[in-house]
């Protein structure tokens, strides 16, 4: 892969990829590392691979695989050495003038509650939710990224929505569609 091609991918998909990395890792520094590792991996394998269908989906797949590999490494290190590294550092967005209107405060609190509930989900449910709602990938694209059958992705999304309904109660009852009412129409 030539440097010009890599720069085009960064220009076209960099912002979305970084946003996804931030949501997956839940940490700014780890998100930056994952973002850079993803493009580095793309550059390394660039000559061997021709991206024809959906470059954004392909990049998300690389990021998910890099994230999973890093999680495995940390898990082994914790078992062997007992090392614990926190992944719960989230930067809070603060208004420039320091004051927020009451409506903005309510919206931010609701968003924070939903974000916290999604972040509390196990990876098997959190990753499909982030890819579906944040990155707006179709079920087929998510299945390809996560290397799972489409039915498994569908059931994990359904289960994640059930868990979120239980955790968030009335807050999301009106926002998440009920199962069987057109909730899973493919994009």
Residue 48 or residue 60, greater confidence: 60
Q: For residue 22, what are the CA distances in angstroms to 64, 74, 96, 124, 184?
A: 12, 18, 22, 17, 26
Other CB atoms within a 10 A radius of the CB of residue 158 amount to 15
**62-108 pLDDT, tens digit each:** 999 999 988 888 776 666 554 433 333 333 333 444 444 566 667 77
Write out the two tokens for 149: 């059958």
Position 182 scores a pLDDT of: 42
- Give the confidence band of 33 by pLDDT, cuts at 50, 70, 90: very high
Which residues of the chain form CATH 1.10.10.10? Answer: 94-187
Secondary structure (DSSP) of 25-69? HSSHHHHHHHHHHHHHHHHHHTTT----S-HHHHHHHHHHHHHHH
Assess if CATH 1.10.10.10 describes domain 94-187. yes
Mean pLDDT of the chain: 77
Which residues of the chain form CATH 1.10.1740? Answer: 1-91
Position 156 scores a pLDDT of: 94
Mean pLDDT within 54-61: 88
Position 185 scores a pLDDT of: 40
Is residue 29 over pLDDT 60? Answer: yes
Q: Which residues of 95-120 are buried (b: 16+ CB within 10 A; e: fewer)?
A: eeeeeeeeeeeeeeeeeeebeebbee
Distance CA 144, CA 31 (A): 22
Position 55 scores a pLDDT of: 86
Position 155 scores a pLDDT of: 95
Lowest mean pLDDT among 11-15, 85-89, 118-122, 155-159: 85-89
**136-153 pLDDT, tens digit each:** 889 999 999 999 999 999
Q: Which class is domain 1-91? A: mainly alpha
């Amino acid at each position: 892969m030539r440097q010009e091609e890599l720069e085009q991918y960064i220009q076209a998909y960099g912002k979305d990829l970084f946003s996804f990395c931030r949501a997956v890792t839940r940490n700014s520094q780890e998100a930056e590392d994952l973002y850079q590792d993803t493009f580095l991996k793309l550059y390394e394998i660039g000559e061997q691979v021709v991206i024809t269908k959906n470059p954004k989906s392909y990049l998300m797949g690389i990021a998910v695989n890099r994230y999973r590999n890093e999680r495995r490494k940390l898990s082994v290190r914790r078992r062997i050495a007992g090392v614990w590294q926190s992944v719960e550092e989230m930067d809070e967005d603060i208004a420039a003038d320091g004051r927020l209107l009451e409506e903005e405060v309510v919206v931010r609190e609701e968003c924070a509650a939903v974000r916290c509930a999604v972040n509390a989900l196990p990876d098997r449910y959190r990753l499909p939710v982030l890819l579906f709602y944040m990155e707006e990938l179709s079920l087929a694209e998510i299945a390809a990224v996560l290397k799972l059958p489409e039915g498994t992705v569908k059931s994990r999304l359904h289960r994640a929505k059930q868990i979120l309904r239980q955790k968030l109660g009335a807050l999301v009852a009106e926002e998440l569609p009920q199962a069987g009412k057109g909730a899973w129409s493919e994009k």
